[in-house]
A = this chain, B = another copy of it.
Amino acid sequence: MPDAVELIRVKRDGGQLSDADIRWLIRGYTGGDIADEQISALLMAIYFRGLDAAELRAWTDAMISSGERLNLAGLTAPTVDKHSTGGVGDKVSLILAPLVAACGAAVPQLSGRGLGHTGGTLDKLEAIPGWRASLPPAEMTAILRRLGCVICAAGPGLAPADRRLYALRDVTGTVESIPLIASSIMSKKIAEGTGALVLDVKVGSGAFMRELADARLLARTMVTLGEEHGVRTSALLTRMDTPLGRAVGNAVEVEESVATLAGQGPPDLAEVVLALAAEMLRLAGLDGDPAAALADGSALARYRDMIAAQGGDPDAPLPVARHTRVVPAPATGWLTRLDAHGVGHAAWRLGAGRARKEDPVSPSAGLLCLAKEGDWVEQEQPLLELRADEESRFDAALAALGDAIEVGPERPAQTAPVIDRIGM
């Protein structure tokens, strides 16, 4: 029988934990036999020492085995899901699920809520009056079978060990570890039962991974885990130095998603959506044309059906913030910087995000980027429109913006939003 202190020491000193050790640790923790303080010390040791490929596989297996594994084999359409590591203005899931469904795939999108300065898909959709995030498994499968897409909360039965571990990591400064991030994401996606998975690994100031090398390592780690568990997996590395699209918040992002589904979205957002859709269809073995599905209205129709199936009214007006404030351009010139980190934190301070998982979010708070990086702007021209329910929030939001805005004499180089693809 292993000993928790001894196993913590092994990892602390750079040794390797066996499959049996890892199973024992995860089972002991979920069963209440190993204390929080022991696992948090182990997590910090993993932060410093990492997990090798065999340890990571065993760790992920143990998290999957802690709960149920959905069986989507009964669907006729091939299943493919997408996961984003989170960014500012990242409303891609809202658009992608119905778009890829309109092209013939089945997209079982089990999503989460936001924490910190990046938004959560469920928080955004909950801005729609009547829409329900929680579905019983049978209802979820029925909607998926009928419409080819569903976006809902992952039930408590999927990888419950990850749920407990994530909560512990959140309060112990051990979130930012590539193997722990990879196993947390992949254990839920593998347990969800999807046949294929495309990862959108964001890199830049507004992303979890600020360095390209880290993002690449995380992408490769997750792709390997997916393949090892029989899920066809690939990853796109996409830029997150500046917000994706123009809207950052909840209701505002729903509006921008609908516009994008109608073929009228911002070009950077449309480009990322189409690249991810093509990748999903490729992994699913389908020939659909996502650009056509945006142009002919079939993706938008699918979106409206999906919202309605979960109690939402796609025609209902979305909540509007009581107060707005404009941030003007500080000078005339090229907008050389509209930093995702600052903008994301400003939206968070406006009420669009939460600091702790039990906090509520405001559906109407957020902001619009009235200019984008690379635009020519005149001094005093409105750059951002901030929205909040309480005027008192604007000061904190402006402070959070910090040096996010820079106007200069030289036109910045244009950068493509998709950096690279990793995987099969």
In contact, B36 and A35 (Cβ under 8 angstroms): yes
In the complex the two chains form, is B40's CB within 8 Å of A173's CB?
A: no
Q: Which of B4, B9, B12, B43 contacts A41 (CB 8 A)?
A: B43
Main SS of chain A's interface residues? Answer: helix
| Among A5, A42, A44: residue with most chain B CB under 10 A | A44
* A174 neighbours in B (Cβ, 8 Å): 41
A33 at the interface (CB under 8 A from B): no
Q: Which residue on B lies nearest to A46, using beta carbons?
A: B44
Set of chain B residues within 8 Å of A47, measured between Cβ atoms = 12
Q: Residues 32-66 of chain A: 1 if any B CB is under 8 Å from the residue's CB, otherwise 0?
A: 00011111111111011000000000000000000
A147 interfacial by beta-carbon distance below 8 Å: no
Question: How many monomers of this protein are in the complex?
Answer: 2
Binary per-residue interface labels of chain A (165-190) against chain B in the complex, 1 for a CB within 8 Å, 0 otherwise: 00010111110000000000000000
Q: How far is the CB of A82 from chain B (nearest CB, A)?
A: 30
B5-A38 in contact (CB<8A):
no
Give bound CA distance, A47 to B13, whole Å.
11
Whether the pair A38, B171 counts as a contact (CB closer than 8 A) is yes
Instruction: Render A233-273 as a binary contact track against B, CB cut-off 8 A, 1 for contact.
Output: 00000000000000000000000000000000000000000
| Residues on the B chain within 8 Å of A168, using CB | 37
- Give the residue name and chain of the B residue nearest to A41 (CB): B172
Docked pose: A407 CA to B40 CA in angstroms: 46
CB-based contact A37/B171 at 8 Å: yes
Q: Which residues of B contact A41 (CB under 8 A)?
A: 40-41, 43-44, 172-174
What would be 6 A-B contacts, judged by CB atoms less than 8 Å apart?
A5-B171, A37-B40, A38-B40, A40-B40, A44-B48, A45-B173
Given contacts A37-B40, A38-B172, A40-B40, 10 further A-B contacts (CB under 8 A): A5-B170, A5-B173, A8-B172, A12-B44, A12-B47, A35-B36, A36-B36, A41-B173, A44-B48, A48-B48
